[in-house]
Amino acid sequence: MKNLLKSTLVGFSVLALAGTASAQININLYGASAQHLFWNDAADDFLINKGCTNVGRAQFDTKNGITRGTCGGQQVYIRYSSKASFDGILALKGDDSMAGSAEKCVSTSLGFPGSGLAPYYRMMVDESSCTAWTGGTSCSRLKCQRITLGASDVAGESFVQSSSGQLKGPLGGGAVSRSFSGIDTTGLEAYNPLVVPFGFFVNKSVKKDGLELDNISRMQAVQIFSGQAFFWTDFGTNFSVTGNPSANIVGCYRHAGSGTHATMDFAVMKGNGWGASLPQNQVVGGPTVYFNDGSSDMMNCINGSGTWNGLGAIGYADADQALALPANTKALKYNGEAGSRVNVRNGLYDFWSVQWLYEDPAAPGYSNTHPLVTELMAYASVPANVPSTKAAYWAAKDEMNFLKGTDQEYPAFTGCQDCQNP
């Protein structure tokens, strides 16, 4: 694992960028959907902090964003496109065998680099198609871009889950099956600047004692997401589903290859040998199991979308989804605590993972992009640099009082390196 030499890297200047060979630097982050909102929000703060000018943001859609800045006479573009954690790592390894049609770089794609290089590329925002840089959806086109950083919510070796079902759960999208026995990350450099908090979300139709459900325990989570509890009334006759009193529990899951799903597996379902296993196949009725490709698909499953009403649905996603919830969805406390930054760092809440960002030192553009990558990672690891829109949820690793040695381990007290109050 790469050590971030912060005292050195923070001093890396705009003038250093001016000495590199390329007039344009592209930092392309791709993978975990939970990290999409964070990096698109942090990128412009990072460039402004560096003293870059003409800084702006734009997006193609809710999965594809871009930030620009002029730094020391060079044009810098930082892109983030989301899919799922597994494909960020696979893209670095030159494997597009499991990439979706929306993400894969093919011969008809703009900027196709040839069949030999295409597996290292994914579709990302074409900066020339953006008509405004004020944060809105002003970009009209994607193009093939080589991935610089594969973003994953867990280590590649933690992908040991399987799933089979529709791509977008109750909304269809076509059948997909994924099965993993670990993704080898040998030869890749890794950064762990941040901690990613996750949480549970429920459709507001689910009631306890006539009021909207606001908390579930670990016991309930294990029973629900292992498929052992069929109906909300299995937890007592004081539970109900408004609009369909006889509705079974609708479990909304991420597909295997999601870091959120892997964290759910290790941190909630069967940590330290207790608990139960996640289901592997979509099932409709008694209980219902729906797999979903990305965070936005997960929220559609919980909330309801189109002809799907979402009644009785519950699922899990990055905790900061609570900042902009759809109308029919509510964030839940877990074991009586919210998935907040303060609770995560101080050991009151354990549904989280240490973020992984992988870089390939053998990539042809490494010498050009690596200096800026290391500076971005050092910037992100400082607690004060967590963007204000994420500061209530995301934590820098160095502020954590409790950490996991691996994704599979339970958090233990370590003490903080860059302590925060409270």
Do residues 339 and 203 share a domain?
yes
pLDDT digits (tens, 9 = 90+) for 185-209: 999 999 999 999 999 999 999 999 9
Q: In sequence order, what are the residues at sequence separation of 6 or more whose Cβ sits closer than 8 angstroms to the Cβ of residue 41?
A: 387, 389, 390
Do residues 275 and 136 share a domain?
no
pLDDT digits (tens, 9 = 90+) for 350-369: 999 999 999 999 999 999 99
pLDDT at 22: 57
Closest C-alpha to 18, from 51, 45, 43, 46:
51
Average pLDDT (1-13) is 39
Q: Are 383 and 398 in contact (CB under 8 A)?
A: yes
Give the integer Cα–Cα distance in Å for 195 and 183: 21
Closest C-alpha to 369, from 28, 35, 59:
28
Do residues 50 and 70 share a domain?
yes
Q: Are 394 and 320 in contact (CB under 8 A)?
A: yes
CATH number of the CATH domain containing 323: 3.40.190.10
pLDDT at 10 over 70: no
Helix (H/G/I), strand (E/B), else coil: 380: helix
Domain residues for the domain of 21 are 6-153+355-391
pLDDT at 272: 64
Do residues 14 and 90 share a domain?
yes
Confidence of residue 286 (pLDDT cuts 50, 70, 90): confident
pLDDT digits (tens, 9 = 90+) for 379-420: 999 999 999 989 999 999 999 999 999 999 999 999 999 999
Do residues 341 and 359 share a domain?
no
252 phi, psi to nearest 5 deg: -100, 120
pLDDT at 5 over 90: no
65 inside domain:
yes
Average pLDDT (48-52) is 97
304 inside domain:
yes
287 inside domain:
yes
Do residues 257 and 216 share a domain?
yes
206 inside domain:
yes
409 inside domain:
no
50 inside domain:
yes
pLDDT at 21: 46
Do residues 225 and 331 share a domain?
yes
pLDDT at 59 over 70: yes
419 inside domain:
no
| pTM reported for the whole predicted model | 0.91
Do residues 60 and 142 share a domain?
yes
pLDDT at 7 over 80: no
Do residues 140 and 271 share a domain?
no
pLDDT at 343 over 80: yes
> How many structural domains are present in the chain?
2
Average pLDDT (313-327) is 95
Average pLDDT (82-97) is 97
User: What Å distances lie between residue 275 and 75, 148, 221, 240, 344, CA to CA?
Assistant: 51, 37, 10, 25, 22
